[in-house]
Structure 1
Amino acid sequence: MDTVDVLIVGAGPTGLTLACDLARQGVAVRIVDRSPRPGGGGRGFSLKPRSLAALDDLGAAREIATAGFVERRTRFHQGTRRLFELDTPPAPVTVEQPYPNVVALPQWRTEAILRDRLAELGGKVEFGMRVTGLAVGEAESGSRVSGPAGIEVRSGTRAAGPGWSEVSFAGGERIRARFVVGADGGRSTIRRELGVAFTGRTDPDTRAMISDVRLDGLDPAGGVNMWLSPQRGVAVTRPVPGTGVWQVVVSLGPDLPDDEETLQRLLTERTGLAGLRVTEVLWHSVWRYNLRIAERFRAGPVFLAGDAAHVHSPFGGHGMNTGIQDAYNLGWKLGLVVRGLAPEGLLDTYESERMPVARQILADSDQRMGSMMTWRFARPLLGPLLKAGFRRRQRSTRQDHPVYPAGPLIGDGGGAPMPDGSLPTGARLSDLFRGSHFTVLGPEPVTGFDPELVHVHRMAGDYRVVRPDGYLALTAPTVEPVRAYFDRLTAG
């Protein structure tokens, strides 16, 4: 039986981001996925600025920016009548904002880039690993008790041992880990094994078919097309430049089959374009409306991240991005604890910081979905009003920088991402933050910190503490609050 520091279950963008972060810190990590091979399909399609900043720190953003593109044109229709065209020019790249735009890239391509980055760091994904059980803490075979972290150990599982978790897989393999992270999606096996409630609501009648297809009858240069129909529903076509592939989304009623014949029929009905033909379906999935959040994001040594912790509507493009940012928040904290640079109490801040963000995103995506359902009934004369509303939403989508509230890791003047900038050497300010260390910037040198935990740089102005995830933790006029901050951190 293999023993590792961290076992990650689920190799989507969330799990891969976390694996890359831990691997670069030298943490012994394994990442497994139940699928027999890497997944296909567009699914999540948008990488927002904050996610790109995180992936830049991990060494993957340049490849993503090169492979992706900035969507600027969207055409809105009601049948064959075009309501309006929305053309949103990309925001300029600046020193303070090196990633100001949303980059469009199919999720399968994002995952492939992250797997390549993980391989560069010495890791790999183990496919075909289906979880069948989770044991936490001490238990005798056949017992039903609570382990030291208060997690129920299921009847019949093997003892994990104090301070360790043990995950069982189909075929009999077991992995013993100090920490386990469930990044295994909305139907998370890890969450179910923990018995953590997934509260919220599901509307089984609200469904959509999502497909990667080859199409005849549309010009990719036209950008994204959206058809809004009060009687027939919604249809969206999004080209993937340079591939000949389109992502197509059509809403489904409760009784419609989700097959290729239905896809073609709904496209023809909603667009009014008799020449629009699906020539090949490359990938296909059905989405059902869920708005749910886990009761806890941490249960002792086991954590939930991404869709395993929260699911919501696709409107707003939050899903993949929220998971990446969950992982980026958790990665440096797990790494510091495993490496003995911080006490285990640091891990409590993962839930306290990320759960409010998840709740806010659930509310936003639900509101956007409600607006979309309302706009379906809009009359053509309201086109200018609709256009203004969509433009505001599109621009706000770029602003995905959550602010963390005051707490153990956020002091006076902190809570937002530290703006980037240029240094006299020509390097970027963010280059000083790259890695899993805290950074102290101040007018006078500060000594006495563990160099593995804290890097110190002289810079005019107040003293500023920047966390490993690039968030400003503290601003102070003197060095004493800085020392007090790290005294609290290392004391737990």
Structure 2
Amino acid sequence: MNTDVLVVGAGPTGLALGIDLARQGVDALVVEKADRLFPGSRGKGIQPRTMEVFDDLGVLDAIRAVGGDYPVGMIWQDGKRVAENQMFDPAEATEDSPYTAPWMVPQWRTQEVLFARLEELGGRVGFGREVVGFEQDDDGVTVRFSDGPDVRARYVVAADGGRSVVRRALGIGMTGETVDPNPLLVADVLISGLDRDNWHVFPPRGEGDGFLAICPLAGTDVFQAVAQFPEGTAVDLSLDGIREVVAARSHLAPESVTEVRWASDFRPRAALADSFRAGRVFLAGDAAHVHSPAGGQGLNTSVQDAYNLGWKLGAVLRAGAPISLLDTYEEERRPIAARMLGISTGVHRGEVRRGESTRQLNLGYRESSLTEETRTDPGPLRAGDRAPDGVLSGGRLFDAFRGPHWTLVAVDTEAPEVPGAVRVIRGEEQGSYRKGLYLVRPDGYVGWAGDSAAGLSEYAHRICF
């Protein structure tokens, strides 16, 4: 069997990449070693920048329909409510940033939405396909499985998690640290005796104890329970074990926990792959960077890896762009991943607030080789930055950006002739957009900006569109 791109792993990263490739007409196959989608809530926060990505990929309405706002934290002590805690610094939505608060969706639901969109676009997921090895040459990669025929692909993307088989087979190391030696339990449970309007937090009762947090998962009847244990503890994931923890750390009776839907334990760590690429094989998501869950950065950074890589693979495979374009994936994403790892660790240790730094709206690629800023006085919006929303000539810019195309935004400046595949939007100065030309990439970042069209054709020729 042959395909253009083989994506290993049907988590949020692999599914988002599959969607991006499918909408560009790239023949891609997503494979997953399990026989179904991941069943747990693990990554439950969709950050504002990822909501913008989901808007572009055509899944935001479905994501909003199955999620909800984060509840207010409620601190308990001795069976009494003693304080409230806002989990995130608030921010008002603006014309250029319509999404400013994280949206809660359990990971299993996010994956269901992405999977449905992938199938809608004609994409495929092969379940029960465990990768056991591969060989690559100048023309492609031959991937072997524990069961079923080999697959020959022009490129392979490893989105198979923090214990990535593909990364290990490539010999790419992970550099990192233990964020917290104390193990954590995370479980999706049915529980009685708690309201669903608050995120219930039970601080440690004494020295050596750990906290317990029970959060209602929006759009479901399930709670996510998280408990911390002393270093070296063997965490019991059974129903009886979870009942014991809940009863010992809260005012709830053991039988208030009526069912465990999914449970896991882990030790929070932060690690970054030494490289995001080896030949025709790329690493994305947890295969490239492993986060503490604090601050909700892992899933979001991973989806944005896919969003960055997807348009570049499409440009090379379908639009004749130079293969060197693929080199910019690691150039752009590895520094971002390193930055977000630092933020995740800081949130976990109480050094960073959940707020502006965790929304991911201020990330960009100003230092990228794909970025050209030709204006002498560029103002706050520069090439390499996220292209904000706004209204130009009566139309919303995010509506114009939606789709795997480049967009030229001409603000009080004559727009030159551009290839038909480039959408042109004209209007007057407003909000973030000063007079000038802004060439917006398919992933919503300003690639080139100028006071006039001088230099634009040379940039376009270099990128080849």
| Structures share fold, TM-score greater than 0.5 | yes
Match of 2:164 in 1: 188
Partner amino acid, structure 2, of 1:74: G
- Paired with 1:170 and 1:184, the residues of 2 have a C-alpha distance of 15
CA contact (8 A) 1:353 1:405 kept: no
CA contact (8 A) 1:21 1:331 kept: yes
Match of 1:416 in 2: 385
**2:100 maps to 1:100:** yes
Sequence identity percentage: 41
CA contact (8 A) 1:217 1:275 kept: no
Match of 2:449 in 1: 475
Deviates most, 432-441 or 43-52: 432-441
Deviation at 1:450, TM superposition (A): 3.1
Aligned pairs, number: 444
- Paired with 1:400 and 1:234, the residues of 2 have a C-alpha distance of 31
- Paired with 1:364 and 1:79, the residues of 2 have a C-alpha distance of 33
Match of 2:336 in 1: 357
Deviation at 1:82, TM superposition (A): 4.3
Partner amino acid, structure 2, of 1:224: W
Match of 2:378 in 1: none
- Paired with 2:78 and 2:304, the residues of 1 have a C-alpha distance of 38
Inter-CA distance 371–163: structure 2 relative to 1 (3 Å threshold): same
SS at match of 1:35: coil
Moved over 6 A (4+): none
- Paired with 1:335 and 1:429, the residues of 2 have a C-alpha distance of 23
CA contact (8 A) 2:69 2:103 kept: yes
Partner amino acid, structure 2, of 1:175: V
**2:251 maps to 1:238:** no
Match of 1:288 in 2: 267
Inter-CA distance 232–171: structure 2 relative to 1 (3 Å threshold): same
CA contact (8 A) 1:79 1:270 kept: no
Q: Aligned-residue CA RMSD in angstroms? A: 2.1
Deviations along 1:90-137, one digit per CA (max 9) or x if unpaired, are: 755443222222110000000000011011101121110000111011
**2:183 maps to 1:207:** yes
Match of 1:256 in 2: 234
Deviation at 1:204, TM superposition (A): 8.8
Deviation at 1:364, TM superposition (A): 1.4
Match of 1:228 in 2: 203
- Paired with 2:333 and 2:386, the residues of 1 have a C-alpha distance of 15
Partner amino acid, structure 2, of 1:8: V
- Paired with 2:354 and 2:415, the residues of 1 have a C-alpha distance of 45
- Paired with 1:396 and 1:186, the residues of 2 have a C-alpha distance of 24
Superposed, which structure 2 residues align to 1:61-460 within 5 Å? 61-80=60-79, 82-87=81-86, 91-137=91-137, 162-202=138-178, 205-221=181-197, 223-229=198-204, 230-253=207-230, 254-259=232-237, 260-274=239-253, 277-371=256-350, 392-394=353-355, 396-412=357-373, 413-425=382-394, 427-442=395-410, 443-447=413-417, 449-452=418-421, 454-460=422-428
- Paired with 1:419 and 1:203, the residues of 2 have a C-alpha distance of 34
Deviates most, 402-411 or 302-311: 402-411
Q: Which runs of 5+ in 1 are unaligned?
A: 138-161, 373-388
Inter-CA distance 279–344: structure 2 relative to 1 (3 Å threshold): same
Partner amino acid, structure 2, of 1:231: G
Inter-CA distance 275–281: structure 2 relative to 1 (3 Å threshold): closer
Deviation at 1:397, TM superposition (A): 3.1
- Paired with 2:164 and 2:319, the residues of 1 have a C-alpha distance of 30
Deviates most, 269-278 or 165-174: 269-278
CA contact (8 A) 2:371 2:384 kept: yes
Match of 2:437 in 1: 463
Q: Which runs of 5+ in 2 are unaligned?
A: 374-381, 429-434
- Paired with 2:286 and 2:241, the residues of 1 have a C-alpha distance of 28
CA contact (8 A) 2:22 2:122 kept: yes
SS at match of 2:211: strand
SS at match of 1:393: coil
- Paired with 2:248 and 2:333, the residues of 1 have a C-alpha distance of 42
SS at match of 1:316: coil
- Paired with 2:163 and 2:235, the residues of 1 have a C-alpha distance of 22
- Paired with 2:354 and 2:95, the residues of 1 have a C-alpha distance of 25
Deviation at 1:363, TM superposition (A): 1.2
**2:458 maps to 1:484:** yes
CA contact (8 A) 1:214 1:279 kept: yes
Partner amino acid, structure 2, of 1:234: F
CA contact (8 A) 2:343 2:357 kept: no
CA contact (8 A) 1:180 1:303 kept: yes
Inter-CA distance 350–395: structure 2 relative to 1 (3 Å threshold): closer
TM-score (norm 2): 0.90
Match of 2:57 in 1: 58
